[in-house]
Amino acid sequence: MIFKRTEAIHIIESTTTWDIAIIGGGATGLGIAVDAAARGYKTLLIEKYDFAKGTSSKSTKLVHGGVRYLANGDVKLVYSALKERGLIFQNAPHVSFVQSFVIPSYSVFSKLKFLIGLKLYDWMAGSLRIGKSSLLSKKEVVEKLPKVKTKGLRGGIQYFDGQFDDARLAINLAQTATEYGAVTLNYAEATVIRKDANGKINGLSFLDSENGITYDIQAKVVINATGIFVDDILKLDTPTHRNLVRPSQGAHIVIDQKFLGNQDALMIPETSDGRVLFGVPWHGKVLLGTTDTPLKEHQIEPRPLEEEIEFILSTANEYLENAPTRADIRSVFAGLRPLAAPTNGDSNSTKEISRDHKLIKSESGLITITGGKWTTYRKMGEETVDLAMKTGRLPETSCKTDYLPLHGYTKDKHPGHWQVYGSDRIAIQKLMDNNPSLAEKIHQDHDFTVAEIIWACKNEMVVKVEDFLARRIRLLLLDARASLEAAPLVAKIMAEQLDKDNEWVNKELADYELLVKNYTLSPKEISNHNSPTWG
């Protein structure tokens, strides 16, 4: 199987019946596709936008058990996530890394309290533990976090967790599923849930937004793995369906690494409103976040709210000397978590809503999975395919993904962003060796090259300029304005590779410029943040 749109469409047109059809190409849907294909089921996955365009590319980039969930007493979720953290390190070492975290402590009591909790966290990881939590002196904290505020500092705790590149792992999952025989297709929107005379699901229809053609497919099982959009698909199945999901927004800001210091991450366990805040080194920048803001509506490109940006900056200012200001922000972004809608009277509370996933089977046979977190994508896939196997009366086959190397797997280490390509780095390097002009940077301040655009067009199913700049490389999230400056060159080369005309180039650049407004603060907002103006 080849990971190309043209090949995917050809197979769809020549296939009569699928065992499993998955709607949704984020972490959950892609994990299901890998599991189903690895078991030998004939698997189709469709995604309305690009793979991981939604929440799955806008996480805090942590592969973790969830220290704050442990504090909330959600031991089962933490235990499961710690095991899955270990499996991600094992199966995708090229996109996952051990990260040191430091909690600065300004009282002896908090120091001991957090150490006890983190020792429990270590113990729960068992043989998959990736580091040992320890007490730090004031001097050691300052050595690890040179920009930390020292007034009243009593020392701290160091612990270890995981970090990853979410969108790169997502594309590797799509490639892995394809290598095991699945068909995965982006820019394909489910429009109809098809049923037999008894009201049982037997397929679906989807629109390929690239060619404008609607395809009708038959499937023994249909799975709804659309994250914050699960209710939209459930309404295709049952028009009277009441919303199951209440979105919660998590916002982040990206700043230069000089504001934090070394390679250690900052973890603030108790902010002014009870949330956890991270400052995490990532691709040469620092990610500050996340927030937890309940929303009433969902959208594919949410904007960070003014109060979220203010919360992150003010919290950072409490812990860092020479803390960043609005003028220092390289990018801002937000993702929406699909939390189960609260049943009590407090519609604005997200603290009591479980972060664990939920599996639901409708009367029609539609399987819906919602909730969960990136770290547990594999376990969610396993449980969903187990249910699909029973629902569709598919041949019984056990899960194969516990020990399944993902596309790009290598234990070799490489500098900078080349690491996240894994074994594909060799082929991209060969492109540049054969044609040195392809080693040209797409932006003078960043190391991404023209060869990567060509590679993405040929091997990573890019359709839009945004796909490349936001998710195949991460320039939009790292430095939004630089990505806008690089866009004309990217569009030109993509047009050559994908056989597009100047009209396509102009539309892509206009669309991308509009998108970048969501990821930047306007001069007015920087200078007068009490009257925010986006764009």
Which segment of 147-151, 346-350, 465-469 scores lowest on mean pLDDT?
Answer: 346-350
Q: What pLDDT does residue 278 have?
A: 95
Q: Which residue has the higher pLDDT, 128 or 447?
A: 447
Q: Contacts from 377-380 at CB under 8 Å and sequence distance 24+?
A: 377/27, 377/28, 377/30, 377/31, 377/84, 377/173, 378/31, 378/34, 378/35, 378/84, 378/87, 378/88, 378/91, 378/402, 379/80, 379/83, 379/84, 380/28, 380/31, 380/32
CA 226 to chain centre: 13
- Which of these, 97, 392, 374, lies nearest to 223 by C-alpha position? 392
**Exposed/middle/buried for 415, CB within 10 Å: 0-12, 13-18, 19+?**
exposed
- pLDDT tens string 263-320: 999 999 888 767 789 999 999 999 999 888 888 888 999 999 999 999 999 999 999 9
Q: Is the per-residue pLDDT at 197 higher than 80?
A: yes
Binning pLDDT at 50, 70 and 90, where does residue 79 land? confident
And the tokens for 145?
Answer: 């976090």
Q: What pLDDT does residue 363 have?
A: 95
And the tokens for 57?
Answer: 């590319």
Block residue for tokens 């019984």 = 396
- Quote the CATH superfamily of domain 5-56+167-244+347-392: FAD/NAD(P)-binding domain (3.50.50.60)
> Cβ of 135: how many Cβ atoms within 10 Å?
14
**Exposed/middle/buried for 209, CB within 10 Å: 0-12, 13-18, 19+?**
middle
CA separation for the pair 42, 44 (Å, rounded): 7
SS3 496: helix
Q: What pLDDT does residue 339 have?
A: 81
CA separation for the pair 155, 157 (Å, rounded): 7
Binning pLDDT at 50, 70 and 90, where does residue 390 land? very high
The amino acid that residue 360 corresponds to is I
Which segment of 80-94, 208-222, 293-307, 425-439 scores lowest on mean pLDDT?
Answer: 293-307
CA 211 to chain centre: 27
Q: Which residue has the higher pLDDT, 16 or 69?
A: 16
Angle (CA) 457-462-467 rounded to 5° is 130
Please state the domain extents for the chain: 5-56+167-244+347-392, 90-162+246-340, 417-518
Q: Is the per-residue pLDDT at 137 higher than 50?
A: yes
Which segment of 8-12, 215-219, 406-410, 529-533 scores lowest on mean pLDDT?
Answer: 529-533
- pLDDT tens string 86-117: 999 999 999 999 999 999 999 988 888 889 98
Block residue for tokens 């020292």 = 150
> Cβ of 395: how many Cβ atoms within 10 Å?
10
Q: What pLDDT does residue 262 have?
A: 83
CA separation for the pair 92, 170 (Å, rounded): 11
CA separation for the pair 465, 175 (Å, rounded): 20
Angle (CA) 434-439-441 rounded to 5° is 165
Q: Is the per-residue pLDDT at 459 higher than 70?
A: yes
Residues 326/359, Cβ–Cβ less than 8 Å: no
Q: Which residue has the higher pLDDT, 179 or 247?
A: 179
Q: What pLDDT does residue 349 have?
A: 37
- pLDDT tens string 339-379: 876 544 444 433 434 567 889 999 999 999 998 889 999 99
The amino acid that residue 513 corresponds to is E
Cis peptide before 290 (omega within 30 of 0): yes
Q: What pLDDT does residue 211 have?
A: 95
Domain 5-56+167-244+347-392 identical in fold to domain 417-518? no
Q: Is the per-residue pLDDT at 212 higher than 60?
A: yes
- Which of these, 132, 140, 62, 106, lies nearest to 268 by C-alpha position? 106
**Exposed/middle/buried for 429, CB within 10 Å: 0-12, 13-18, 19+?**
middle
Task: Name the pTM for this structure.
Answer: 0.95
And the tokens for 304?
Answer: 């960070």
Largest CA distance in the chain: 73
Architecture of domain 417-518: Orthogonal Bundle (1.10)
SS3 380: helix
SS3 122: helix
Which segment of 269-273, 349-353, 404-408, 469-473 scores lowest on mean pLDDT?
Answer: 349-353
SS3 217: strand
- Quote the CATH superfamily of domain 90-162+246-340: D-Amino Acid Oxidase, subunit A, domain 2 (3.30.9.10)
The amino acid that residue 391 corresponds to is T
- Measured between its terminal Cα atoms, the distance across the chain in Å is 42
